[in-house]
Amino acid sequence: MGSVVSSAKINARSMDRHEKSGFGSNKRVKISTYECDSFQRIIPTLPDELSFQILARLPRLYYLKLKLVSQAWKAAITSSELSQLRRELGLTEEWLYVLTKLEPNKLDCYALDPLFRKWQRLPPMPSFVSEEESTGRTQSSWFQMWNVVGSSIRIADFIKGWFRRRYGLDQMPFCGCSEVSPMISGRAFSKAALLQSKLYVVGGVSRGRNGLLPLRSGEVFDPKTGIWSELPEMPFMKAQVLPTAFLADVLKPIATGMASYKGKLYVPQSLYSWPFFFDIGGEIYDPELNSWETMADGLGDGWPARQAGTKLGIVVNEELYTLEPSSSLDSGQIKRYDSEQDTWKTIVPQVPVHDFTDAEAPFLLAGLHGKVHVITKEANNNLQVMQAVLQNNIENSPSEENIIWNILASKNFGSAELN
């Protein structure tokens, strides 16, 4: 992603040209031309700069198939020049990406084009083999699950590409995968978020001699340097006020979620002794000060849990949203945080979601085109992407009668679980 695929006979050289387009004039566009023994062009009868203009105006949905035309087309589709031109022409597209798990170590990633309402299955991510597996030693199977992140796994280059540019997601479906720098610490069930074009990972668990150990540490990946750096440990201030040393030894502090909000990382926290979880508010990381502070009581204590150990949080148009499931297991509420009053306010009183006891993630939240969307799985295994439309402009006091649910897309993923 962001790189030009080359072969023994094909190379690329870049040039800067001034070119006028229908979307603006005198824009500086970086174009690549492709050469081989017979001076092969992207489209033989056209200059490469015109070919780039044509490719840039095609819907991104077709790029995966266009890569198969020739080596020159593949190199053009996967080049940074094409994505730069699309940005300058105002043709970037926002897609929804869903990660599913069918088997403990098998991940499938799908992309939804919301304009054409079509799904595409993306190329598989590279598999990994741990050191213990390579030497024949056994491993805890659930520790090998799909949400393991750590030094035994390399972060794929397509993840790196997400953060290389502000609009890096516009390239995601067309990339290949390669290894980049490993993380400093191996960790499973960690929380990750993007902030200021850097990838932050905090918490999770690591394997110790006596089992899995909760981690207070965190790391940040800078795609410009390709280097991971350590963060200060989460202090878990509220966990330090436990009345007895026994409780402090039994109840372990963990991070249960993370969201990038107002230029900081907001991390809700809990104490756990499986299968019990106790909320203890949360903490906020300030990248400017490189330090943690305690989260406001209303924000941390009122942040609802999706299920034990996990809390949803997304930011859309600089507002923080979450989804709180109801006790009836067939509905929920979308809430928005009011920072002035330090409280969570219900903006959608009833969301048609189904909480199946055998599903790890029966529903998710996502921001798409400046709107909050709910991703839920029905009893018939249909995955639905839904958007709530408020009627009569009643946003401050919405009711069930004032809300219409639009189904953006639907697809049957079988028994696969949502990430």
For the segment 317-345, what is each residue's pLDDT rounded down to a tens digit?
999 999 887 766 567 889 999 999 999 99
Is residue 166 pLDDT above 70, yes or no? no
pLDDT at residue number 38: 45
Is residue 126 pLDDT above 70, yes or no? no
3-class DSSP assignment, residue 234: coil
In our burial notation (b when 16+ CB lie closer than 10 A, e otherwise), range 14-41 reads eeeeebebeeeeeeebbbbbbeeeeebb
Determine what percent of the chain is predicted with pLDDT higher than 90: 34
Q: What share of the chain is helix, strand, coil (3-state, %, to 5)?
A: 20, 40, 40
pLDDT at residue number 132: 43
The mean per-residue pLDDT over the stretch 288-314 comes to: 89
Question: Considering the entire predicted model, what is its pTM?
Answer: 0.74
**pLDDT higher at 249 or 160:** 249
Distance between CA atoms of 214 and 207, rounded to whole angstroms?
9
State the chain's mean pLDDT as an integer: 75
Chain-centre distance for alpha carbon 197: 13
**pLDDT higher at 75 or 244:** 75
- How would residue 50 be classed by pLDDT, with cut points 50, 70 and 90? very high
Domains and CATH numbers, the chain: 48-87 (no CATH), 179-311 (2.120.10.80), 312-413 (no CATH)
DSSP H helical ranges for 34-171 = 48-57, 63-66, 71-77, 80-88, 131-134, 157-164
Distance between CA atoms of 54 and 74, rounded to whole angstroms?
15
Is residue 187 pLDDT above 80, yes or no? yes
In our burial notation (b when 16+ CB lie closer than 10 A, e otherwise), range 274-302 reads eeebebbbbbbbeeeeeebeebbebbbbb
Rg (alpha carbons) of the chain, rounded to whole number: 24
Cis peptide bond upstream of 104, omega within 30: no
**Residue in 302, 122, 268 with CA at minimum distance from that of residue 193:** 268
Is residue 267 pLDDT above 90, yes or no? yes
C-alpha dihedral, 398 to 404 to 408 to 414, nearest 10°: 100
The mean per-residue pLDDT over the stretch 35-63 comes to: 84
pLDDT at residue number 306: 72
- How would residue 353 be classed by pLDDT, with cut points 50, 70 and 90? confident
Per-residue tokens: 96 = 């929804």
- How would residue 218 be classed by pLDDT, with cut points 50, 70 and 90? very high
Is residue 18 pLDDT above 60, yes or no? no
pLDDT at residue number 138: 35
- How would residue 395 be classed by pLDDT, with cut points 50, 70 and 90? low
Phi, psi of 246 (to 5 degrees): -65, -45
Distance between CA atoms of 305 and 325, rounded to whole angstroms?
8
C-alpha dihedral, 412 to 157 to 114 to 334, nearest 10°: 80
pLDDT at residue number 33: 45
pLDDT at residue number 364: 85
> Contact 259/266 with Cβ under 8 angstroms?
yes
Within 11-52, strands assigned E span 11-21, 24-35
Say which range, 140-154, 277-291, 392-406, has the weakest mean pLDDT: 140-154
Per-residue tokens: 198 = 């850097």
- How would residue 21 be classed by pLDDT, with cut points 50, 70 and 90? very low
> Contact 76/41 with Cβ under 8 angstroms?
no
> Contact 373/365 with Cβ under 8 angstroms?
yes
Distance between CA atoms of 344 and 250, rounded to whole angstroms?
31
Is residue 419 pLDDT above 60, yes or no? yes
